[in-house]
Amino acid sequence: MEKWTTQIESTEQLCLYLVKPHPINYLPLQLPIYTLFFLTKLDSLSSLDLSSLWVVLVFHFYFSASSMAASSSREAMNKQLLDFIHSMEQEGLVDYRFAKVHMLKESSGPFFFASLLPTFCHDSTATLRDLTVALGQPLLNYHDLGELCFKIKGGAACLGVCRMAHACGQLHQAVQNRATKESLITALNAAKQEFSIMQEKLETLVQVSQF
């Protein structure tokens, strides 16, 4: 049986080795061997240990396969994200702006979208808490309430979270009309409900983005 460490000392020998039957000499590896032979200018070397060459090729194919698998995984994840966003659009939770923000990751980095969503949830939670505290005061400060409403409504609208933005807009309108405390609390609870629904969806999106 031919030794695995056959020595190749010329182009002719390599060609003969590639075309002759060999237990592990199969077509997918023949061309890479031939290419590698010329790229490394093996004619200038005294000999080549094929076992070393096979090690190089094994690593080459391993990392190529790993890269292809990673690319396929990213494509599958992106499709899952787009499908989820589309379902949110169908529910009326978000509008076209949300998908546009998602597309910004192409220019702003792959983690831009996944890091933006928790920031939005954190800021919205803080603003809703401030609104709750403000409405709990004996005397209502309509100016401060209006600014808080404008802040949370604007953040939701910019992200494309349209249903929550609409609920916050209703609260803002009630503040501008100087509605009663009871009416404002009802409007605030509606905004909180929409945020709660949206927060759950956004947390799911973040989890999918991290795979």
Token duo for residue 69: 């698998």
Segment 80-97 shows an average pLDDT of 92
Token duo for residue 10: 């010329």
Domains of the chain (ranges, CATH numbers): 7-71 (no CATH), 92-209 (1.20.120.160)
pLDDT digits (tens, 9 = 90+) for 177-200: 999 999 999 999 999 999 999 999
Pick from 134, 113, 140: which is nearest to 207 by CA?
113
Return the ∠ at Cα 76 (arms to 73 and 78), rounded to 5°.
110
Query: Long-range contacts for 84-92 (Cβ within 8 Å, ≥24 apart)?
Result: 84/201, 84/204, 84/205, 84/208, 85/205, 88/201, 92/162, 92/163
pLDDT digits (tens, 9 = 90+) for 2-32: 444 445 455 455 445 444 554 444 444 444 5
pLDDT value of position 86: 93
Residue 89's pLDDT band (boundaries 50, 70, 90)?
very high
**Is the distance from CB of 153 to CB of 137 less than 8 angstroms?**
no
Pairing of strands 48-49, 7-8: antiparallel
Report pTM: 0.64
Token duo for residue 15: 């060609």
| CA dihedral of 126, 148, 205, 71, whole degrees rounded to 10 | -100
pLDDT value of position 8: 46
**Is the distance from CB of 113 to CB of 173 less than 8 angstroms?**
no
pLDDT digits (tens, 9 = 90+) for 49-67: 455 544 544 544 444 544 4
Segment 163-187 shows an average pLDDT of 97
% the chain with pLDDT above 90: 50
